[in-house]
Copies of this chain bind each other. A is one copy, B any other.
Amino acid sequence: MTRHLALVEEVLERFFSLSTQRAATLAPAYEALWKTLRSNTAGGKRFRPQMVMTAYTALGGSDLRSAAHVGASFELLHTALIVHDDVVDRDFVRRGIPNVSGSYRDVAQTAGLSLPTAEHRGMSVAVIAGDLALTGSFRLMERASANPEVRDALVELLDRAVFDSAAGELIDVDFSLYSGMPSIEEIVHMERLKTAVYSFEAPLQAGALLAGATHDVIAALGEFGRNIGIAYQIVDDLLGVFGNEASTGKTTLGDLREGKRTALIAFASQTSEWSSISQLVGDSELSAEDAATVREVLERTGAKKFTQRLASDYADEAVAALHGAGIPQQLIEQLTPLVTAVVERVR
């Protein structure tokens, strides 16, 4: 896999090199923006390219350069979506370092602009940067295959991924703004659209499609991706409250302070003890002590257990989807550890 991902890096490197050179002919500031976008694309786990390459090679694909273009396309889509998501969430930091908005906010503040003006500049540049990454994602996908039919189908998959992610993002914005509590089904639906489609479902299907897999195999991989993607998000939400900060690199206060709508919280809101913590969930100044109280209630009411069970049910669905559609044993063996890794993260 390392060798396959190195090919993805090569495609991304060439894309950024050419774009940066072209940008330099237009304006120094534009060259700088491309460099920022490049560094915001570096350092990821390349999770989506891995999904593409795994499906592609296990299904007999041998044109690794083509597959690497598909992988790189999904990686750029990921960059586009997180850069714009950070604008929506007014986040200026990601993985502990300034994101696009943060970098440009900081430069503007150093140049003497007020914080609100500097923040708006950061967000403005991030809107532009996300557009460039999104455009790049389509460009790379179009270059993935010389076969017009395959290319059309790949671009169609990418299009659907953008379409579904946008729906998920919109529903998520609505959740965070209105005071009502969405149902568990609504939350799972949102998480599927916002993340599972473009991170699991579409990359696996794209790899299979490029490898010339049958309709049944492609459909089954979609089903697998959807379910494991949902399981992944549910586990992520659990880790956001019960995780080990040292291993997740993410504070376990953030989601509670934000009042993030998750399956965990939606379940708790239906229990008799909810009134004892409802004021704490969403309190932007929640103390570590109060957070401990919330966690106790989430355990006592069974919300934690329910959510763990929900994640493992989706993981089971994912595994079930792998069987019976003619997916080769080799691919099943490569995807099964992924399922274990997703579920094990929270145990």
Contacts and interface: CB of A to CB of B under 8 A. Distances in A.
A70 to B, nearest CB: 16
A189 B30 CA distance: 13
Contact of A135 (B19, B33, B113, B159): B159
A139 interface: yes
Given A117-B177, A131-B134, A142-B155, A30 B124 contact: no
A212 B152 CA distance: 23
Contacts of A189: 27
A174 B32 CA distance: 13
A125 interface: yes
17 contacts: A26-B167, A26-B193, A27-B170, A30-B166, A30-B170, A84-B127, A87-B123, A111-B178, A117-B177, A128-B173, A131-B131, A131-B166, A132-B162, A132-B163, A138-B138, A138-B155, A139-B159
A22 interface: yes
B135 A162 contact: yes
A109 to B, nearest CB: 11
Interface of A: 19, 22-23, 26-27, 29-30, 33, 80, 84, 87-88, 90, 108, 111, 113, 117, 120-121, 123-125, 127-128, 130-132, 134-135, 138-139, 142, 146, 148, 152, 155, 159, 162-164, 166-167, 169-171, 173-174, 177-178, 189, 193
A80 B135 CA distance: 12
A126 to B, nearest CB: 9
Task: Select the residue from A132, A169, A173 with max chain B CB neighbours within 10 A.
Answer: A173
B155 A124 contact: no
Per DSSP, are chain A's interface residues mostly helix, strand or loop, or mixed? helix
A164 B130 CA distance: 15
B135 A177 contact: no
A90 B120 CA distance: 9
A29 B84 contact: no
Contact of A121 (B87, B125, B152, B177): B177
Nearest to A117: B177
Contacts of A173: 121, 124-125, 128
A331 to B, nearest CB: 29
A150 to B, nearest CB: 12
A84 B167 CA distance: 18
A87 B127 contact: yes
Contacts of A26: 164, 167, 193
A157 to B, nearest CB: 12
A202 to B, nearest CB: 14
A166 B121 contact: no
Nearest to A155: B142
Q: Which 4 A-B pairs have the closest CB atoms?
A: A88-B124, A30-B167, A26-B167, A138-B138
Contacts of A142: 142, 152, 155
A177 B132 contact: no
A318 B87 CA distance: 40
Task: Select the residue from A111, A167, A189 with max chain B CB neighbours within 10 A.
Answer: A167
A134 B158 CA distance: 13
A133 to B, nearest CB: 10
